[in-house]
Chain A
Amino acid sequence: MKSLIESIVISLVDHPEDIVVQETEEESKMVYHLTVNEDDVGKVIGKNGRIAKAIRTVVYAAKTDGKKRIYLDIM
């Protein structure tokens, strides 16, 4: 899951070395916190959050072995 988020974001940003995905487990969900270089913030969010929405749609669609829900937090 973490590597899925990373490979999607790598294709969008100019500074792939600054991508950080933090995984934290909460009671009912897995939270992935994504941070990117300041200059790339717009590239992962997009106009009206269009890109962020697309990333979330794809990430949430991925099948996981765990039963917990996935939540993607951007910045």
Chain B
Amino acid sequence: MKELTASGQTVDEAIQSALEQLNTTKDQVEIDVIDEGKKGLLGLFGSKRAIVKVTIAKNPIQEIEHFIKEITDKMNVNVEVTTITKGNHVTFEMHGENIALLIGKRGQTLNALQYLVHLALNKDNKQFYTVTLDAEGYRGRREETLRSLAWKMADKATRLNKKVALEPMPAFERKIIHSALQKQGKVSTYSDGVEPHRHIVIKP
């Protein structure tokens, strides 16, 4: 953590000087006033300078953004990361060339990265965050694919009047399928098996 002790004629001046030295703004720091200082007589005798301690407040989400950049850099992929925070849900969107390398087959690299990011973000923070890591809109495209897969498989199940089992998927992908088929009355869905082999079964 970066911190700095600075002094000035008044508390405000001391803070100002600390912010300049740390190259940051007031809303990103925590300020401790150590000594408020004294004006002294005519500003000459008995004056004491104000002393403040300024600490750069850790922004865990920003740190994770750097973490993602660092990891992808070392994988020889150049990405830009944009972050959207909604309550305790954080979405990191990666944009750049060669992004396919980060997605992997059926998103397995992206899912692994997402899990590592989730662990890093929740490691020593009091607040719990859920994480979505997206690459060039992959999650959105995948959702479309999964929906149409769900419809197709539901059709197959009713046509054959047999249970249809899908391949294993992570929880958030199964959720998409469950909710896609929920309103449709002909089939019901449930999940079977133990993680990481948990998969959806569509029952007519």
Please list the residues of chain A having a beta carbon within 8 angstroms of any beta carbon in chain B: 1, 3-4, 7-8, 11-12, 48, 50-51, 53-55, 57-58, 61-63
Once the chains are docked, how many angstroms separate the CA of A57 from the CA of B170?
A: 15
Residue B138 is within 8 A (CB to CB) of chain A in the complex = no
In the complex, what's the smallest C-beta–C-beta distance from A42 to chain B, in angstroms? 12
Which size class do B's interface residues fall under?
20 to 34
Q: Is the CB of B120 within 8 A of A12?
A: yes
- Chain B residues 174 to 204 lying within 8 A of chain A, measured CB to CB, are 195-196
Q: Is the CB of A53 within 8 A of B112?
A: yes
Q: B123 touches which one: A7, A12, A61, A63 (CB < 8 A)?
A: A12
Residues of chain B within 8 A (CB-CB) of A57 are 104, 108-109, 112
Q: Lowest 8 A-B CB distances belong to which pairs?
A: A57-B112, A4-B74, A11-B120, A54-B112, A62-B75, A61-B109, A54-B115, A63-B76
Main secondary structure of the interface of B (DSSP, over half): helix
Please list the residues of chain B having a beta carbon within 8 angstroms of any beta carbon in chain A: 67, 70-71, 74-77, 101-102, 104, 108-109, 111-113, 115-116, 119-120, 123, 195-196
Residues of chain B within 8 A (CB-CB) of A7 are 67, 70-71, 74
Residues of chain B within 8 A (CB-CB) of A55 are 112, 116
Given contacts A61-B102, A63-B75, A63-B77, 7 further A-B contacts (CB under 8 A): A7-B70, A7-B74, A8-B71, A12-B123, A51-B119, A54-B113, A57-B109
Residues of chain A within 8 A (CB-CB) of B77 are 63
Q: Is the CB of A4 within 8 A of B71?
A: yes
